[in-house]
Chains A and B, each alone.
Chain A
C-alpha cells in the first residue's frame, strides 16, 4: 500500500476531529489520495520559502503517526521540502543517525554513554517533541473501569496473579464485582520502546515485586501471549475475555479499548490522558540536555506511565538547504504541531519545555 494512502485511511478512520483542523485535514486527505492516485498530474504552484530538499529520517514508531501528520501539514506550507520518516524503531533510528544514513532520528530512549563516540556527525542535540501515556488496557466482560496499583500490575504481568478475582486486584477495586475469569497477559513480541518504558515504570514503581528488569524486550513468562506492534496486542485484547496488555494511548483510544487508572507515587489512581501526562512531565526534572524521565513522576495528578520521545539531530549540519528545512520542521513541531498532537491523542509538551526546545533548535548550526 502506498504510505500516503495509509495515512489518509488513518486520518479518515479517526472518529472525532475538532472543527479547527477539519478543513486542513480534508485537504490533507485529498492531497494524500491525489498523490496516490495521480502521481503525474500537474502539481500546484509551490508554497513556502525554503529551497528544494529532502529530509530522511527513521526511528521510534510510537510518535510516528504524529510525525507523519505533521509532515503532511508542514508540506502544505513548504511544498518544496520532502520529509520521509521511516519508523523502524528507536534502535534503528539511533544506529542510522550514528552512520549518518538519516538527517534526524526519532528515539524514545536516551543514548547510552558508551555509544556517544559512535556518532560520526559529532555532537548531537535532543529535541523533545511530544509525550504520551502508555495505557494498561484490558477486556473483561462485565467490568468497565479498573484501578491498579503498580505492585498489582507487576504481579499480573509476571503471572503471579492469574485470575481476575485475585485478592490483589480486589484490594485495588473495592465495590467492583470481579469475575473469576483467567487473566491472559498480552505483550509485544517485537522489541519496542513501549515495552522499555512500561518495564522501566515497573522497575521504578514496583521494585520489590518486579523481577524481569527493563528493556525493549524482556524475558516474559512462557504463558504470556506475544503479538506484533500495538495493533497486534490490541487485537489479542479485543479478541480475548480476561486479557490485559500495555498499549500506546493513541492506539487504545482509536480502537476503543478500556484502560485502567494506575496508582501514582502520591497514592492517587489516575486515568491516562493528555492532561495527566503533562502533569507528569511538569513534575519531572529536566536535564541540561533536555532529557527527562517522566516515568513514575511525583505530583498528585501525574499519570505514572508516561513515555517521552525525542528527535536527535546533529548540531553541525553540513548541507544548508537540509539544515534550514530541518530547523523549520522542528519549529513547526514545537509550535503549531503541538495542537495537532493533542488532536491525535498525544500529550503536548508543557509550554516551558517547548520554549526550551525551541531555543535548542536555534543552536543547530547551518553552513552558509
Chain B
C-alpha cells in the first residue's frame, strides 16, 4: 500500500513543492527571527520602564543611593549600599561553600562512581534542583535556624580570638544571618553547578584520559592533568550560572537573612540583600519609597549583567587558551 501510494508522488514532488517549500521556509525564518527579536524587545521595555519608575528615587538621592547605607523610609533616606554589600557577601559565601562540594560530586560522578551509585546520586541531585526556593527558605527558618545559631556560637567562641580571620566570626550571633543565607544559597546552587560540571567532564575524550593513564599517571593525576583543564571553561560557566541564581534568589534569602541592612564583617550577624528587600517591602510601599525599591531592582539588574558579561569573557578566554594549548 505505502509503496504504491508513494511511488507516483515521488517524481512530482520537487516540481510541485519547491515554491511552497520556499514560502514555508521564509515563514519559518521570519517566525524564529520574530521570537529572537521578542526577547530583545522584552528586555528593552523592561529596562525602560524600571529605569523610568526608578528615576524619582535616583533624582532624590543622587549618587548617595549607591554610597550611603542608611535606608530609612520614614525620613525618605534611601541608601542601597548595605543591600549591595549583602547580596555580594552572601553570593560569595554561597560560592565558597558550594563550588568545592559541587566539583567533588561532579568528579566523583564522572570519573570514580560505579554505575549504580552514579544513577542514584544523579537522581537525588536533580531532585534537589526541583525543590522550590520557598521550601528552602521555610526549612531554613523553621528547622535550621536554632541548631545553626548554637553552631555559630561554638564557632564564634573558638574562632573569634584568632587575629585577622577572627573578625568574621565575632558575636553576637544570630540564627538569621548572612551565614544562614549563604548556607541555604549554597545548598540551592550545588545541583546546578554539579550537573553542569558533570556534563562538561563527561565530554572529555576518552583518548585523552587513556593517554594520561598510559603515561603512568595515577587516577588523581589523570583527573588533574586531563579532565580538569579540559573542562575548565564549562565549569567556570557552571559556577557563574550558580552565582547568577544566588544573586537573584529572593524568597529563600528573605526568610533567613534577618533583614537588617548593615555593613559588617561579622558573618553571623543579620543582614539584608537587594532582592529580599524588594520582596519584603514592595507591597506596603508608595510614592518615593516604591520608586526606591524599583531602583534597587535596576541596581540588581545592572550587577547581574556585569557578572554575566564578565563570566562570558572568562569562558571565552579560557576556551581560547585551551585551544591554543591543544593545537
Contact = CB atoms under 8 A, between A and B. Distances in A.
Interface of A: 88-92, 94-95, 112, 115, 189-193, 196, 212-228, 232, 235, 239
7 contacts: A89-B284, A115-B286, A190-B281, A216-B73, A216-B284, A225-B176, A232-B141
Contacts of A226: 176, 258-260, 270
B280 interface: yes
Contacts of A94: 286
Given A189-B280, A219-B71, A228-B255, A91 B174 contact: no
Contact of A217 (B73, B146, B258): B73
A225 B174 contact: yes
Given A190-B284, A191-B285, A228-B254, 6 more contacts: A191-B280, A216-B73, A220-B260, A223-B269, A224-B260, A232-B255
A314 to B, nearest CB: 19
Contacts of B71: 219
A90 B287 CA distance: 14
Contact of B281 (A115, A217, A232, A239): A217
B116 interface: no
Interface string B164-183: 00000000101010000000
Contacts of A95: 286
B142 interface: yes
B70 interface: yes
A218 B74 CA distance: 6
B75 A222 contact: no
Nearest to A98: B286
A232 B145 CA distance: 12
Contacts, number: 93
A225 B176 CA distance: 7
A90 B284 contact: yes
A223 B260 contact: yes
10 nearest A-B pairs in the assembled complex, by CB-CB distance: A191-B284, A226-B259, A189-B259, A89-B283, A215-B74, A213-B74, A216-B284, A91-B284, A222-B262, A219-B72
Contacts of B74: 212-215, 218-219
Q: Which of A92, A226, A235 has the most CB of B within 10 A?
A: A226
B270 A193 contact: no
A80 B283 CA distance: 31
A219 B70 contact: yes
Interface in B57-97: 70-75
A168 B254 CA distance: 34
Contacts of B258: 189, 225-226
Contact of B280 (A190, A193, A221): A190
Nearest to A95: B286
A300 to B, nearest CB: 32
Q: Which of A88, A115, A222, A228 has the most CB of B within 10 A?
A: A222
Interface string B136-179: 00000110011000000000000000000000000010101000
A225 B268 CA distance: 12
Given A215-B74, A217-B73, A232-B141, A222 B284 contact: no
How large, as a class, is the contact surface on chain B?
20 to 34
Contacts of A88: 283
Contacts of A112: 286
Contacts of A227: 141, 176, 255
A17 to B, nearest CB: 28
A363 B203 CA distance: 74
A225 B145 CA distance: 12
A272 B74 CA distance: 27
Interface in B282-305: 282-287, 290
Contact of B174 (A196, A219, A223, A239): A223
A92 B284 contact: yes
B131 to A, nearest CB: 17
Contacts of A223: 172, 174, 260, 269-270
A228 B286 contact: no
B284 A218 contact: no
B259 A91 contact: no
Interface in B170-205: 172, 174, 176
A91 B283 contact: yes
Q: Which of A92, A112, A196, A228 has the most CB of B within 10 A?
A: A228
Nearest to A228: B255
B296 to A, nearest CB: 13
Q: Which of B70, B176, B261, B269 has the most CB of A within 10 A?
A: B176
A217 B283 CA distance: 11
A228 B172 CA distance: 22
Contacts of A215: 73-74
A239 B145 CA distance: 10
B314 to A, nearest CB: 35
Q: Which of A94, A192, A220, A227 has the most CB of B within 10 A?
A: A227
